[in-house]
Chain A
Amino acid sequence: MNHAEQDLAGRSHAALEDAVLQTALKSATDTFISRRREAVAGVPEWQALRARARRVKEHTINNLDYYLEQLAEKVREHGGHVYWATTGEDVGHYCIELARARGVTSVVKSKSMATEEIELNHALEAAGVRPIETDLGEYIIQLAREKPSHIIVPAIHKTREQIAELFAEKLKCGLAREVAEITAVARERLRGEFLSAGMGITGANFAVAETGTIVLVENEGNIRLSTQVPRIHVAVVGIEKVVPRFEDLSVFLRLLPRSGTGQKQTAYVSFLNGPRRRTRGVEADVASRSSEQGQASESEFEFHLVLMDNGRTRILADERMRESLYCIRCGACLNVCPVYQKIGGQAYGWIYPGPIGAVVSPLLQGLKQAGELPFASSLCGACRDACPVDINLPDLLLALRAKVKEAGADVGVARNFAERTAMRGYAAAVKRPKLFAAAGRLVRGLARLVSKDGKVRSAGVPALGEWTKYRDLPAPRGGSFRERWKKKR
């Protein structure tokens, strides 16, 4: 799933050199930061809400088996099917088998990180089932055959101009000048897809155990169409998405849109209890026209809940890391992260970028595969402040760094051996103050030797050379504090 050959430093270099990307990232993250700030300022009890959300998540994750069983039971009571998927492949097989059994050839999809995580589209395509992304950002990414670069804004890295060019090339339409024109093209193309698709696949923002309700938030209305027009709705839901009570939504539905897009409320919030039922009026007409078989009777509507593990129970088993399952995928930690702001999502190399991605990617994919990510952080802690469920992301990053070093999995990070030796030597000196002082004197002396015009020149020296490649380092003058303190007394 890693979509680049280079290591993170290499991928970041490409991102930092890309002037268009830099402009797009800056304007997008600045906008989201200020919108979020305003939205949060309007809620005086914000900190109390966060604390409550954290407690709910903590309780749920600690009793996950109980709530998942309850959810499954309720969904079945509503007439829905429930499938427990251990791996991403299991999800793929289930969807493909279902499509084949029902003669479905095209699937409309709403934005879902869970299905991105398991690359469901590849599996569907390989099986001859055509997936169509219907969220505008995801539609753009699918046309460009790229990976989303943000949890809630998949095409955050693209400018309006780039998107207009992409549409002109792939959809053979005229070059759009305004955002409204781009949207109109997408809307027109997608309308036909909604009407002909036999199945809609979505994720879920929350799944309520006590009522068996799948909750989906969105702004474009494409989720409404994906879940209500095709005959079959499949919701692929990570097992951590469950919340115990309907009442808990009053906390999470206030936190999520404010943290994500800075909205008080998204344009649409769907609460779905099992398969859709035939209703009066317009909706029913749309549904009957949409059916690939022509007329759909009420019994033909189907709802399938796919509860996906795909590594989550492994995280659950790790008490130190369990907290990362509290995440509600709002993307706020990405926007405020100084590293994400500069390198964007794709440079991380895995589907979940930013601080939360640097935590969950190594846990889901394996330390050897993504163990480099926790080190690509300045540990500034802005992510923790922004997190609506108060996940202590810097702590998790630190704990993961220790795990990676203990497992010897720090393959992506250069200078592993030299660093290990240096750290051992440093630790030994720290315990011996006289040795520490002497070593310091020696290093400062050497630095003075290679200095010119009051600046250390250290090109080629490990670590120090990396520093002076971008920043000056003043040549050490005079003695250390301890030496000078002694002299003065």
Chain B
Amino acid sequence: MRVSLFVTCLVDQLFPRVGEAMAATLRRLGCEVTFNEAQTCCGQPAFNTGYRAQARAMAEHFVRVFERERADFIVAPSGSCAAMVRNFYGELFHAPGDEEWRVRLESVRTRVREFSEFLVRELGVEDVGARFEGRVTYHDACHLLRELGVADEPRRLIRAVRGVEFVEMEAPDTCCGFGGTFSVKYAEISNSILQEKLARITRSGAGTVVANDSSCLMQIAGGLSRAGSPVKTMHLTELLASR
């Protein structure tokens, strides 16, 4: 199976280990992994903030880069970025004159997968042979859950990790308050939502909170660190790469 990494701009710039962990696990599972250096950002920040023209330009770049990839799948460590391409790009190429673009988009769109979705649904793998000692809880990233319908897959992957004691927090499917530019436009509201999430994480008794999206994790980790909490955050790719 040939996999082209869609590492996402956030992972590329701030959390490179998340991308490396994803590549390592995919390789261990026998995938041929490539990384196209021409990739940058899917355009979600512009799209979600209302800048459609800019988002369209970024989407065109994304399609140009990945349509040339001969990979079977394009895999991202983020439900949000994968959902941007799969569910929202259509909105950017809906004009009557965009027929050709829609065809090009389709060749990319149908191959995009989020990491946990790819492992469980495409590779049929739940136990990747990882080991991690500790009590772990899972935060459902909103777009992964509601746009891609992925809830069970990450939990199965986590439960299969040796040494992990999995606990659910209350309402794991409520937002962490990140929301892209919302987190800085309405920072105080964003933080108040985050505090609810942190309280639930703390009450779960977990030492580590896992999610499949670096943006949620940045928000949660930022709050935990500010509160001086001993709870750690970990991307699912990193948990599955633990030995």
A binding-site residues for B, Cβ under 8 Å: 8-9, 12-13, 16, 338-339, 341-343, 375-382, 384-385, 395, 398, 401-406, 410, 413-415, 419-420, 423-424, 426-427, 429-431, 433, 436, 440, 443-444, 455, 463-464, 466-467, 469-474, 476, 478-486
B127-184 contacts to A (CB < 8 Å):
142-143, 146-147, 173-175, 177-184
Whether the pair B50, A405 counts as a contact (CB closer than 8 A) is yes
Taken together as a complex, chains A and B put the C-alpha atoms of A482 and B37 apart, in Å, by 7
- B41 CB–A CB distance under 8 Å: yes
B41 partner residues in chain A, CB cutoff 8 A: 426, 430, 436
Query: Residue on A with the closest CB to B58?
Result: A430
- B111 CB–A CB distance under 8 Å: no
Q: CB < 8 Å: which of A16, A405, A430 contacts B61?
A: A430
Whether the pair B51, A405 counts as a contact (CB closer than 8 A) is yes
Q: A-B pairs with the 4 shortest C-beta distances?
A: A378-B179, A471-B222, A401-B50, A405-B50
What's the nearest-Cβ distance from chain A to residue B85, in Å?
A: 14
B193 partner residues in chain A, CB cutoff 8 A: 338-339, 341-342, 378
- B194 CB–A CB distance under 8 Å: yes
Chain A to chain B contacts (Cβ below 8 Å), 28 pairs: A9-B189, A12-B186, A16-B189, A338-B175, A338-B177, A338-B196, A339-B193, A377-B182, A384-B146, A401-B48, A404-B50, A426-B41, A430-B41, A430-B61, A431-B40, A464-B184, A466-B184, A467-B222, A469-B187, A470-B194, A473-B222, A476-B14, A480-B13, A480-B16, A481-B13, A481-B35, A485-B20, A485-B37
Whether the pair B51, A398 counts as a contact (CB closer than 8 A) is no
A478 partner residues in chain B, CB cutoff 8 A: 16
How many residues of chain B get a CB closer than 8 Å to chain A's CBs? Answer: 64
Query: Residue on B with the closest CB to A22?
Result: B192
B88 partner residues in chain A, CB cutoff 8 A: 398
Query: Residue on B with the closest CB to A473?
Result: B222
B7 partner residues in chain A, CB cutoff 8 A: 481
A16 partner residues in chain B, CB cutoff 8 A: 188-189, 192
Taken together as a complex, chains A and B put the C-alpha atoms of A343 and B188 apart, in Å, by 10
Interface centre among B55, B143, B184, B196, by most A CB within 10 Å? B184
Whether the pair B194, A423 counts as a contact (CB closer than 8 A) is no
Query: Residue on A with the closest CB to B191?
Result: A470
Q: CB < 8 Å: which of A8, A401, A427 contacts B58?
A: A427
Q: CB < 8 Å: which of A381, A398, A423, A472 contacts B54?
A: A423
B binding-site residues for A, Cβ under 8 Å: 7, 11-14, 16, 19-20, 35, 37-41, 43, 45-52, 54-55, 57-58, 60-61, 88, 91, 142-143, 146-147, 173-175, 177-194, 196, 218-219, 221-223, 225-226
Taken together as a complex, chains A and B put the C-alpha atoms of A484 and B187 apart, in Å, by 32
Q: CB < 8 Å: which of B14, B174, B221 contacts A382?
A: B174
Q: Would A470 and B190 be within 8 Å (CB), given that A379-B142, A402-B50 are in contact?
A: yes
Interface centre among A338, A440, A472, A474, by most B CB within 10 Å? A338
Taken together as a complex, chains A and B put the C-alpha atoms of A483 and B7 apart, in Å, by 13
Q: Would A481 and B19 be within 8 Å (CB), given that A423-B51, A431-B57, A471-B222 are in contact?
A: yes
Whether the pair B49, A380 counts as a contact (CB closer than 8 A) is no
What's the nearest-Cβ distance from chain A to residue B184, in Å?
A: 4
What's the nearest-Cβ distance from chain A to residue B24, in Å?
A: 11
Taken together as a complex, chains A and B put the C-alpha atoms of A488 and B182 apart, in Å, by 36
Query: Residue on B with the closest CB to A10?
Result: B188
Taken together as a complex, chains A and B put the C-alpha atoms of A479 and B20 apart, in Å, by 12
Whether the pair A455, B54 counts as a contact (CB closer than 8 A) is no
A403 partner residues in chain B, CB cutoff 8 A: 50
Query: Residue on B with the closest CB to A462?
Result: B184
What's the nearest-Cβ distance from chain B to residue A458, in Å?
A: 11
Whether the pair B50, A426 counts as a contact (CB closer than 8 A) is no
Q: CB < 8 Å: which of B57, B146, B182 contacts A375?
A: B182
Q: CB < 8 Å: which of A378, A424, A443, A463 contacts B177?
A: A378
What's the nearest-Cβ distance from chain B to residue A399, in Å?
A: 8
What's the nearest-Cβ distance from chain A to residue B224, in Å?
A: 8
Whether the pair A402, B52 counts as a contact (CB closer than 8 A) is yes
What's the nearest-Cβ distance from chain A to residue B222, in Å?
A: 3
A486 partner residues in chain B, CB cutoff 8 A: 37
What's the nearest-Cβ distance from chain A to residue B14, in Å?
A: 6
Whether the pair B179, A380 counts as a contact (CB closer than 8 A) is yes
A433 partner residues in chain B, CB cutoff 8 A: 37-40
Whether the pair B179, A377 counts as a contact (CB closer than 8 A) is yes
B37 partner residues in chain A, CB cutoff 8 A: 433, 482, 485-486
